[in-house]
């Protein structure tokens, strides 16, 4: 890392297109967290950016990027193409490791929201990614159920207490995960964690998990 840190808007080449991203790495960072947003969202997600700011304040680098181009995002089917989103996440991880600011010396974690959480879990299972921690916020982790037996990455599931359907799915997935995992429920929160202090609770849970496993 540079002594003054890195903050850059960047283009990320993947196999069939170029994605827009924003890489921010504080000086002396202990690791990097790559964000996988949910359907219909982007690197500009205010919720993910709020979590990212907390992570940077806790000494972690962040990479927020668009899983789809603007043209691709107009096709609703692409938003739920989990294999495509996973491939994009894996390729972006490889790109990050080639950056001088990151390299192989720094552990990498995934933060996935909604459908992006399924891509995060699937990506963590892929041998080439070498991911050290996963955090899911209101995640559709059930869309990664077929790879849970292969999951070896410490995984934290964060769900709103009032997000009943997603909470039920996360309970089932948590029971199915055999590696280190935890389920944190933000009481009173819905799917978007819009109430006072709710998103801050998500960010604190995520920061604690990442600083423990990426440090």
Is the separation of the CB atoms in 80 and 20 below 8 Å? no
The values of phi and psi at residue 61, to 5°, are -80, 155
Q: What pLDDT is recorded for position 65? A: 95
Residue of 149, 163, 104, 162 lying closest to 130 (CA atoms):
104
Taking residues 91-97, report their average pLDDT.
Answer: 94
Is the per-residue pLDDT at 133 higher than 60?
A: yes
Split at pLDDT 50, 70, 90, the class of 135 is very high
For residues 186 and 196, what is the distance between their CA atoms, to the nearest angstrom? 11
Taking residues 183-195, report their average pLDDT.
Answer: 95
Q: What pLDDT is recorded for position 1? A: 37
Taking residues 101-122, report their average pLDDT.
Answer: 89
With vertex at residue 121, the alpha carbon angle to CA 120 and CA 123, rounded to the nearest 5 degrees, is 65
For residues 152 and 166, what is the distance between their CA atoms, to the nearest angstrom? 23
Split at pLDDT 50, 70, 90, the class of 101 is low
Q: What pLDDT is recorded for position 202? A: 97
Q: How far apart are the first and last CA of the chain?
A: 15
Is the separation of the CB atoms in 158 and 132 below 8 Å? no
For residues 89 and 197, what is the distance between their CA atoms, to the nearest angstrom? 29
Q: Which of 6-10, 50-54, 164-168 has the least mean pLDDT?
A: 6-10
Q: What pLDDT is recorded for position 3? A: 38
> Per DSSP, which regions of the chain are E strands?
6-13, 18-25, 32-36, 61-65, 108-113, 133-137, 155-160, 181-186
Is the per-residue pLDDT at 77 higher than 90?
A: no
Is the per-residue pLDDT at 4 higher than 70?
A: no
Is the per-residue pLDDT at 43 higher than 90?
A: no
Which tokens hold the place of 146? 């077929």
Gyration radius of the chain over CA positions = 16
Is the per-residue pLDDT at 159 higher than 80?
A: yes
For residues 198 and 31, what is the distance between their CA atoms, to the nearest angstrom? 25
Looking at per-residue pLDDT, the higher value among 63 and 45 belongs to 63
pTM for the full model? 0.93
Q: What pLDDT is recorded for position 137? A: 97
Residue 179, Cβ neighbours under 10 Å: how many? 13
Split at pLDDT 50, 70, 90, the class of 152 is very high
Taking residues 133-159, report their average pLDDT.
Answer: 97
The residues, any chain, with a CB within 8 Å of residue 167's CB and separated by 6 or more, are 159, 160, 161, 185
In the chain, % of residues over pLDDT 90: 75
Is the per-residue pLDDT at 2 higher than 50?
A: no
Q: What pLDDT is recorded for position 204? A: 98
Question: Which structural domains are found in the chain, ordered by start?
Answer: 6-213 (3.40.50.1820)
For residues 77 and 180, what is the distance between their CA atoms, to the nearest angstrom? 33
């Amino acid at each position: 890392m540079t002594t003054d840190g890195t903050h850059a808007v960047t283009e990320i080449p993947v196999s069939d297109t170029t994605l827009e991203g924003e890489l921010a790495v504080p000086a002396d960072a202990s690791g990097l967290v790559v964000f996988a947003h949910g359907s219909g969202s982007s690197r500009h997600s205010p919720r993910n950016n709020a979590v990212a700011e907390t992570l940077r304040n806790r000494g972690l680098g962040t990479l927020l990027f668009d899983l789809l181009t603007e043209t691709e995002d107009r096709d609703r089917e692409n938003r739920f193409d989990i294999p495509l989103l996973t491939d994009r996440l894996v390729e972006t991880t490889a790109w990050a490791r080639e950056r001088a600011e990151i390299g192989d010396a720094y552990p990498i974690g995934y933060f996935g929201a909604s459908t992006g959480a399924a891509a995060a879990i699937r990506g963590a299972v892929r041998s080439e990614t070498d991911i050290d921690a996963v955090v899911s916020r209101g995640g559709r982790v059930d869309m990664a159920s077929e790879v849970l037996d292969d999951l070896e990455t410490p995984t934290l599931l964060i769900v709103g207490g009032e997000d009943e359907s997603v909470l039920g799915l996360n309970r089932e997935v948590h029971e199915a995960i055999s590696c280190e995992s935890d389920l944190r429920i933000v009481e009173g929160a819905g799917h978007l964690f819009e109430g006072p202090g709710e998103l801050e609770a998500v960010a604190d849970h995520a920061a604690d998990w990442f600083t423990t496993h990426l440090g």
